């Protein structure tokens, strides 16, 4: 993982430690997947960005963001629901990763081409 529970709390995180660990593990796998493993070998100048990204992902995952084909809104009177398409959560996830993992080193680039 790229953060500790103390760092998560210092960045405003409010989850209890068991939930932090559960979502943190998944968040680090997501980061590793989207950076094609480059995050593990990132230069020291990216340590804070990786920590911030993981903490943001933890909170987003805990709130149910990035669910595939999930319900976005629901009303009970007359039954109505709106579903997110599969592309919407992927775009939101890519946007969050790009916010943290592209400066000063673009960890989302591979062979000179960005994959965001």
Assign 108 to helix, strand or coil.
coil
Rounded to 5 degrees, what angle do the CA atoms 64, 31, 1 make? 90
93 pLDDT higher than 80:
yes
pLDDT confidence tier of residue 114, bands split at 50, 70 and 90:
low
Tens digit of pLDDT for each residue in 34-62? 999 999 999 999 999 999 999 999 999 99
Regarding beta strands 109-110 and 80-83, do their DSSP bridges make them parallel or antiparallel, or are they unpaired?
Answer: unpaired
Residue 11's nearest CA partner among 76, 110, 73, 100 is 100
Residue 100's nearest CA partner among 21, 13, 39 is 39
């Amino acid at each position: 993982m790229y953060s500790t529970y103390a760092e998560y709390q210092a960045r405003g995180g409010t989850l209890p430690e068991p939930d932090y660990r559960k979502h943190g593990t998944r968040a680090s796998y997501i980061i590793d997947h989207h950076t094609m493993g480059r995050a593990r070998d990132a230069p020291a100048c990216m340590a804070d960005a990786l920590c911030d990204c993981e903490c943001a992902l933890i909170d987003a995952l805990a709130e149910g963001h990035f669910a595939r084909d999930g319900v976005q809104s629901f009303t009970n009177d007359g039954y109505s629901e709106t579903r997110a398409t599969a592309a919407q959560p992927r775009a939101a996830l890519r946007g969050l990763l790009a916010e943290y993992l592209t400066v000063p080193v673009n960890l989302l680039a591979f062979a000179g081409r960005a994959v965001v």
